[in-house]
């Protein structure tokens, strides 16, 4: 119960038993650039449901939210999920009270949330840094929103601070590898744009950072192993920043066309070839013409992937003319660079014939299945 003696600043009160500061949720203002994903604050989110149940069953026992008082309002620094879960707990109690016939006073214990008062930050930059340091300790932000929040905060720093990696790591309370990755992703506008895209249109957010690192690796491999190709594609020198960004734009555009990525959680082409294999097999393959690499980067899928077709085909079916066994093809593909030009051309012809054979066999089997279905 709130008494005159327990009343505190801005509609809050000090619980006489626990001595905890209880702040009215209706007077709490969330941070304007809250990095929390809206879904994390949704009543259908399992993690959010669990937090709400915990607050209902153990009121006041959660980690306190962090707030500061300014202009007759409590401004939220850390604890956006806890505040919303407390509001949800209040709505649930009110529903139960109404179903019971609204007997007795209306429940109000969850109109307040356990909080710790902080001094008002000097400016928005100070607040953002503190939020990054805390990183919503109850549950971390997802990696895309955290990176986007970091980029916006980083851009507010002065040039001297930006240039000192050691100071940055200490300032943001980040592990060295995390900061290194962030700075590398920020180095290229095309990759940074992908990483800060909050939608799921092209790449799932869960593995976005891995995707971006693969895209950068592809750029480095092309520049190292195919400098002439890079120059012909970008019309710039290999070492130029402008040329690097043009090349990344091409690779990013290519990566967006890997449709099966949404299904299997790996960056892959329509035939299931990962971007990592694209780098090792195409970029480093000295026996593959530059024109082929350029065509694959700009337009088509990396490969038809005969290997996948053969893996899925019954082992007893063999290309009759050449005796091309499935196991033989699977064994050959990783060692393609060991073959001579003559051998490569021969096997390419074999593969084409085998591909035609498998296509015809598939058609015959499907036609037969259709006939049985009609019977």
Is the pLDDT assigned to residue 319 strictly greater than 80?
no
What pLDDT digit, counting tens, does each position of 336-355 carry? 556 677 766 766 666 666 66
Question: Which residue segments constitute the domains of the chain, with CATH numbers given?
Answer: 9-123+130-139 (3.90.1530), 188-298 (no CATH), 306-374 (no CATH)
Average pLDDT over residues 153-162: 93
Confidence of residue 290 (pLDDT cuts 50, 70, 90): low
Average pLDDT over residues 136-159: 83
For residue 191, the number of C-alpha atoms closer than 13 Å in the C-beta half-sphere is 24
Confidence of residue 279 (pLDDT cuts 50, 70, 90): very low
Give the pLDDT score at 115.
92
Identify which of 69-78, 224-233, 277-286 has the greatest average pLDDT: 69-78
Give the pLDDT score at 135.
67
Confidence of residue 204 (pLDDT cuts 50, 70, 90): confident
Is the pLDDT assigned to residue 99 strictly greater than 80?
yes
Give the pLDDT score at 10.
81
Q: How many CB atoms lie within 10 A of CB 78?
A: 23
Q: Please tell me which residue, 106 or 9, carries the higher pLDDT value.
A: 106
Q: How many CB atoms lie within 10 A of CB 250?
A: 19
Is the pLDDT assigned to residue 132 strictly greater than 50?
yes
The b-or-e profile of 128-148 (16+ CB within 10 A means b, else e) is bbebbeebbebeebbbbbbbb
Is the pLDDT assigned to residue 238 strictly greater than 80?
yes
Is the pLDDT assigned to residue 310 strictly greater than 50?
no
Report field, pTM of the whole predicted structure over 0.85? no
Identify which of 49-53, 305-309, 318-322 has the greatest average pLDDT: 49-53
What pLDDT digit, counting tens, does each position of 255-268 carry? 776 543 333 333 33
Is the pLDDT assigned to residue 371 strictly greater than 60?
yes
Confidence of residue 142 (pLDDT cuts 50, 70, 90): confident
Handedness of CA 210, 215, 216, 220 (dihedral sign): positive
Give the pLDDT score at 309.
42
């Amino acid at each position: 119960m709130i008494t005159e003696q327990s009343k505190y600043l801005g509609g809050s009160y000090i619980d006489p038993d626990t001595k905890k500061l209880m702040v009215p949720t209706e007077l709490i203002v969330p941070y304007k650039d809250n990095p929390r994903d809206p879904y994390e604050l949704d009543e259908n989110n399992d993690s959010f449901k669990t937090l709400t149940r915990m607050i209902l069953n153990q009121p006041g026992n959660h980690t306190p939210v962090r707030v500061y008082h300014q202009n007759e309002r409590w401004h939220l620094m850390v604890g956006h999920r806890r505040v919303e879960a407390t509001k949800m707990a209040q709505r649930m109690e009110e529903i139960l009270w109404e179903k019971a016939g609204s007997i007795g006073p209306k429940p109000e214990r969850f109109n307040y949330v356990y909080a710790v008062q902080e001094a008002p930050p000097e400016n928005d930059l100070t607040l953002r840094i503190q939020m990054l340091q805390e990183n919503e300790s109850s549950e971390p932000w997802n990696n895309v929103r955290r990176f986007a929040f970091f980029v916006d905060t980083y851009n507010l720093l002065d040039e001297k601070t930006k240039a000192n990696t050691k100071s940055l790591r200490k300032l943001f309370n980040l592990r060295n590898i995390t900061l290194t990755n962030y700075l590398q992703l920020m180095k290229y506008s095309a990759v940074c744009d992908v990483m800060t895209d909050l939608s799921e249109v092209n790449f799932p957010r869960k593995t976005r950072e891995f995707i971006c690192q693969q895209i950068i690796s592809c750029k480095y491999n092309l520049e190292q192993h195919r400098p002439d190709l890079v120059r012909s594609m970008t019309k710039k020198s290999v070492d130029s920043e402008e040329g690097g960004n043009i090349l990344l734009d091409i690779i990013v555009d290519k990566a967006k066309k890997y449709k099966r990525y949404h299904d299997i959680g790996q960056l892959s082409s329509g035939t299931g070839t990962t971007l990592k294999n694209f780098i090792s097999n195409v970029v480093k393959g000295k026996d593959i013409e530059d024109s082929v690499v350029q065509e694959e980067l700009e337009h088509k899928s990396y490969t038809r992937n005969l290997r996948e077709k053969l893996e899925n085909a019954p082992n007893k079916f063999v290309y009759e003319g050449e005796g091309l066994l499935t196991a033989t093809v699977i064994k050959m593909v990783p060692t393609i660079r060991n073959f001579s030009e003559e051998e490569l051309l021969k096997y390419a012809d074999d593969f084409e014939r085998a591909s035609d054979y498998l296509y015809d066999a598939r058609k015959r089997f499907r036609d037969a299945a259709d006939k049985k279905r009609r019977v």
